[in-house]
């Protein structure tokens, strides 16, 4: 997306510009923070911020001071001597100082202790305002309460993108209790994933849930029903069900 690595195929636009033709004008409006981001290790935090300032016309020195104080960054310590958590704080602070229109975060919370993770998320939300934040993460429990829109990538393909509200409404865990031992029926609907049986309970994830559709599908299977229970699912459980389904189809998420 940011043309750091040339794409082998496909096409993307960032701030209305083909990602392969991003210019300094666009880069000055984009913040980028990555788990594996290389920083100039011999510079102190103060020197690093001073180095960055001339590149960004919208650099806000007052905001920079506030972020340094808020994150308690040791300005006279060299970057190579910082802990991983403090380096991530410095990376995020430096990306926020010029109030970018787009902030891209690539696994920013990996390897961080919960306190640092919460601190980064809290500060990020405080500064977000009109900024668009694109966050790639496997720390789904940590981000679920903050994200508004989600996309799912499987082997380089975007399978869906929608609001968290819409995703939560259409993906549900279903438990069907039968009067005798449960079995996995033949010819189940394509939108039933991760089917499993335990005793008299058939459990599955319905990725196209509606009450009417579910009732029609269950009726068509002629199950000896005792009870049907439908529950919302956290984002991590949704991801796990989709990933397992992808693995069974011979792909990796």
DSSP per-residue codes, 62-99: HHHHHHHHHTT--TTSBGGGS-HHHHHHHHHHHHHTT-
Instruction: Note the pLDDT of residue 253.
Output: 42
Using CA atoms, how far apart are residues 178 and 184, in angstroms rounded to an integer? 12
The sign of the torsion formed by the CA atoms of 111, 159, 252, 188 equals positive
Q: What tens digit of pLDDT does each residue of 215-247 get?
A: 999 988 888 888 999 999 999 999 888 888 776
- All structural domains of the chain, each given as residue ranges with its CATH number in brackets, are 13-147 (3.40.50.300), 169-248 (3.30.70)
Residue 111, pLDDT above cutoff 90: no
First to last CA, the chain: 19
Q: What tens digit of pLDDT does each residue of 166-208 get?
A: 999 999 999 999 998 999 988 889 999 999 999 999 999 999 9
Instruction: Note the pLDDT of residue 144.
Output: 83
Using CA atoms, how far apart are residues 204 and 185, in angstroms rounded to an integer? 12
Q: Is beta strand 149-154 parallel, antiparallel or unpaired with respect to 157-163?
A: antiparallel
Among the residues of 71-173, which ranges form H helices?
84-96, 114-128, 140-143, 164-170
Q: What tens digit of pLDDT does each residue of 26-77 get?
A: 999 999 999 888 899 999 999 999 999 999 999 999 999 999 998 999 999 9
């Amino acid at each position: 997306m940011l043309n750091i690595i040339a794409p082998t195929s496909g096409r993307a636009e960032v701030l209305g510009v083909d990602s392969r033709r991003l210019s300094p004008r666009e880069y000055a409006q984009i913040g980028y923070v990555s788990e594996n981001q290389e920083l100039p290790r011999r510079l102190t935090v103060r020197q690093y911020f001073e180095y960055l300032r001339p590149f960004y016309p919208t650099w806000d020195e007052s905001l920079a001071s506030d972020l340094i104080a808020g994150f308690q960054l040791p300005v006279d310590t060299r970057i190579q001597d910082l802990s991983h958590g403090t380096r991530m704080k410095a990376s995020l602070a430096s990306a926020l100082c010029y109030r970018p229109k787009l902030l891209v975060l690539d696994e920013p919370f990996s390897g961080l202790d919960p306190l640092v993770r919460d601190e980064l998320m809290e500060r990020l939300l405080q500064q977000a305002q009109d900024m668009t934040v694109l966050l790639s993460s496997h720390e789904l429990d940590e981000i679920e309460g903050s994200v508004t829109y989600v996309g799912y990538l499987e082997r380089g393909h975007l399978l869906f993108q929608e609001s968290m509200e819409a995703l939560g409404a259409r993906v549900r865990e279903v438990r069907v209790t039968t009067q005798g031992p449960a079995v996995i029926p033949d010819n189940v609907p394509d939108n039933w994933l991760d089917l499993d049986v335990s005793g008299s309970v058939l459990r599955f994830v319905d990725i196209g849930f509606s009450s009417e559709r579910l009732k029609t599908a269950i009726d068509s299977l002629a199950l000896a029903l005792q009870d049907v229970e439908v529950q919302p699912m956290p984002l991590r459980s949704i991801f796990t069900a989709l990933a397992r389904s992808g693995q069974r189809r011979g792909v990796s998420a």
